[in-house]
Chains A and B, each alone.
Chain A
C-alpha cells in the first residue's frame, strides 16, 4: 500500500465497547480482543475487523455510524478513551489512525451521551435533534430563475473567510458530546453566525436566531457555561467567538424583532 510503513508492527488490543440492544434496553460495556491490527488502519477499519470476527462467531456486530470515511459527513461519532473522536485534536473518528495507539492498549468506546441524542443501538445515536434545529431556521430564501453571476454581491474577504470557517461545521455533535452541560450552542452558533455574516442570510436574520434557539431549548440541550470543551474537541475548529455572535444576534433579535410571541 502506498505510504504504508513496512516496519509497522501489527497490534493486539482490548476493546471495551458499549453494547445496547435498542433505545429502551439497559446497555453495558462488553470486552473484546482484536488481533493483528495494522497501525495504518483507521479506527473505523479496526472496528470493521472486530465486526468481521463477531460475524464469523455468529454474534451480532457492533452498530456504529459512518458514511464518507473522509471527515466530511460527521456521522462517525464515537467517544474514545474519554474524548470525543478520541485523543487526537482536529480529527473525526474516521481520520483517527491506529498508529496513535500502542500494542496491548485497552480502548474504551462509548456513544455520544446527551438526553437530546438518545442511543439507537450500541454506538449509534439519534442526532435528528440537530436536523430539527436546522429546519427551524438554518436556511436562506432565494429567488428561483436565471443563475446569478458569481460574486454579484460584494462581500469583504475577511467576512467571507469568517463565514466560511463557521460553515465548515459538519454537525457531528462532538460539541454536545464533550460539553459537561450537553449544550448545542457551538453547533447552533456556527449556523447562526455563518448566515448572519453574509448578506444572503439577512432576510431571515432575526427570525432565524429566535427560532433556532427556541428549538434548541425544546430539544433539551443544556445552556453554555463558556467552559470551552466544545471548541477544544471540534474536529473542524469552530471557535467560541461564534457563541458570542449567537448571543449578540439573539439579544438584538429579541430586542428589535416584531415578534411579540
Chain B
C-alpha cells in the first residue's frame, strides 16, 4: 500500500473522508436549496423550469454532478462501513446496564441510522424527479422548458410523499446538528476562539436549510 492509501484507510483517514464529503454535501444543499426556492415564485413554475433546464444541460453543472455522485458514494460507503467496524470494536458481549444517554446526545450516537433514513429519502427523491427528468420525456411548458414544476405539483398531492419528505428533512436536521460541527473537529479545526461560532453556524445552517426544504412539500400540499 502506498502512503496515500494507508493514510485514507486508517481510522482517522476514513473519518477525514467522512468530514470532507460531509461538508461538500453541505455546500450542495445550499446550491440545491437556492435553486428550489424558485418553487415559491407565483409564476406557475416558469422560473423553476428554466432553472431546472439549465441545471440539466450546463456542462459545468453536469461535471459537478459526477463529483456529487462520488461525494455521496464515498460518504455513504465509508459511513456505513465505519459504523459496522465501530459496532464490532465494542465486542459481542454488550453491557447489561448501559446509561450512555447520561453522557452523550441521542442524535450524535445515531448518525448511521439518521444517514440511512436520509439515504432512503434520497432514493425515492431521485426516482420522483431526477429519474423522470433525465430518463423520460417530460411535457414542456409555454417557454419550451421541461415542465419539472408539474412533476412537483403532482408528487406533493400525495400525503405519503409529503410525509416522507418531511421525515427525510427531520432526519437530515439531526444528522447535521451533530455532523456540521463534528466535521470541523475531525479536520482538527477546533479552537477556543472559533469553535463556539462554528457550533452556532452549524445549528443555524441545519435548522434553516432543513426547514426551507421541508416547507416545499407542505406548501404544495396545502396551498397549491
Contact = CB atoms under 8 A, between A and B. Distances in A.
A79 B95 contact: yes
Given A232-B104, A250-B12, A251-B16, A180 B190 contact: no
B11 A213 contact: yes
Interface in B148-192: 178, 182, 185-190, 192
B143 interface: no
A95 B86 CA distance: 31
A76 to B, nearest CB: 18
B190 A113 contact: no
B16 A247 contact: yes
A84 B90 CA distance: 14
A29 B96 contact: yes
Given A221-B89, A227-B108, A247-B12, A180 B188 contact: no
Contacts of A225: 15, 82, 86, 108-109, 111, 182
A227 B185 contact: no
A241 interface: yes
Contacts of B89: 114-116, 181-183, 220-222
Contacts of A110: 95-97
A140 interface: no
Interface residues of B, number: 43
Which bucket holds chain A's interface residue count?
A: 35 or more
A261 B103 contact: no
A213 B9 CA distance: 12
Given A224-B15, A244-B185, A178 B100 contact: yes
B43 interface: no
A115 B91 contact: yes
8 nearest A-B residue pairs (beta carbon) = A248-B188, A82-B99, A244-B190, A222-B89, A181-B86, A223-B11, A232-B103, A222-B86
13 contacts: A18-B96, A82-B98, A183-B86, A217-B10, A224-B11, A225-B15, A226-B185, A229-B100, A229-B103, A229-B104, A244-B189, A254-B7, A260-B3
Interface of B: 2-3, 6-7, 10-16, 82, 85-91, 93-100, 102-105, 108-109, 111, 178, 182, 185-190, 192
